[in-house]
Structure 1
Amino acid sequence: MIARLELENYIGQLLAVDRFRDYCPNGLQVEGRESVGKIATAVTASQAAVDAAIAAGADALLVHHGYFWKSESPAIRGTKKARIAALIKADVNLYAYHLPLDAHAELGNNARLGAKLGLNPTGRFGDQDLGWLGEAAEPSTLADLARRVATALDREPLVIGDAARPIRRVAWCTGGAQGYFHQAVELGIDAFITGEASEFVTHLARETGVAFIAAGHHATERYGVRALGEHLAGHFGLALIHLDIENPV
Structure 2
Amino acid sequence: MSTTRHELLHAFDLLLAPERFKDYGPNGLQVEGRTVVRKIVSGVTASRALIEAAIHAEADAIFVHHGLFWSGQDGRVTGWMKQRLGLLLGDDVNLFAYHLPLDAHPELGNNAQLGLKLGLLAHPASAGRFGKQDLGFLGGRANGESFADARALAAHVETMLGRPVTMVDGASRPLQTIAWCTGGAQGYFEDAIAAGADAFITGEISEPQAHYAREMGVAYLACGHHATERYGAAAVAGHVAAQLGLAHEFIDIDNPA
CA–CA separation in structure 1 for the residues paired with 2:161 and 2:241? 24
Name the CA distance, whole Å, in 2 between partners of 1:28 and 1:187.
35
The count of residues paired between Structure 1 and Structure 2 equals 249
AA matched with 2:166: L
TM-score using structure 2 length: 0.94
Amino acid across the alignment from 2:255: N
**Contact kept? 1:46, 1:83, Cα under 8 Å:** yes
**One-letter code of the match for 1:178?**
Q
Post-superposition shift, 1:155? 0.5
Kindly provide the amino acid, as one letter, of the partner of residue 87 in structure 2. A
Partner of 2:156: 148
Distance (Å, rounded) in 1 between the aligned partners of 2:94 and 2:18: 18
What is the match of residue 62 of structure 1? 63
Say if 1:125 and 1:163 are closer, same or farther in 2 by CA, change over 3 A: closer
For residue 47 of structure 1, what is the aligned residue in structure 2? 48
Residue 226 of structure 2 aligns with which residue? 218
Matches within 5 A, 1:51-200: 51-122=52-123, 123-136=128-141, 137=143, 138-140=145-147, 141-161=149-169, 164-200=172-208
- 2-structure distance, mates of 1:227, 1:71: 30
> Which segments of structure 1 move beyond 3 Å, counting only runs of 4 or more?
none
Sort the Cα spacing of 1:163 and 1:144 in 2 relative to 1 into closer, same or farther, 3 A: farther
Deviates more, 1:94-103 or 1:236-245: 236-245
Mapped to 2, the partners of 1:237 and 1:223 lie a distance apart of 21
| Equivalent residues of 1:143, 1:163 under 8 A apart | no
Further displaced range: 42-51 or 68-77: 68-77
CA spacing shift, 1:18–1:162, aligned 2, 3 Å: closer
SS of equivalent residue, structure 2 residue 146: strand
Quick one: distance in 1 between partners of 2:44 and 2:97? 9
CA shift, 1:162, in A, is 5.5
Q: Structure 2: which 5+ residue stretches go unaligned? A: none
Distance 1:160 1:197 in 2: 10
Q: CA RMSD in A?
A: 1.1
Once residues 51 and 215 of structure 1 are traced to their aligned partners in structure 2, the CA distance between those partners, rounded to angstroms, is: 27
- Give the partner amino acid of 1:103: A
Aligned-pair CA distance for 1:163: 7.6
Contact 1:161–1:206 (8 Å) recurs in 2: yes
CA distance in 1, matches of 2:134, 2:77: 33
User: Following TM superposition, by how much is the alpha carbon of 1:235 offset from its aligned partner in structure 2, in angstroms?
Assistant: 0.9
CA deviations on 1:81-119 (whole Å, 9 max, x unpaired) are 110111000000000000000000011000001111111
Counterparts of 1:6 and 1:233 in 2: how far apart (Å)? 11
Deviations 1:61-82 (A, max 9, x none): 1100001100311221110111
Shift of 1:52: 0.4
Give the whole-Å Cα distance in 2 for the aligned partners of 1:116 and 1:34. 35
Q: Kindly, what percent of the aligned residue pairs are identical?
A: 55
CA contact (8 A) 2:170 2:213 kept: no
Equivalent position to 1:203, from 204, 211, 218: 211
Structure-2 separation of matches of 1:132 and 1:17: 19
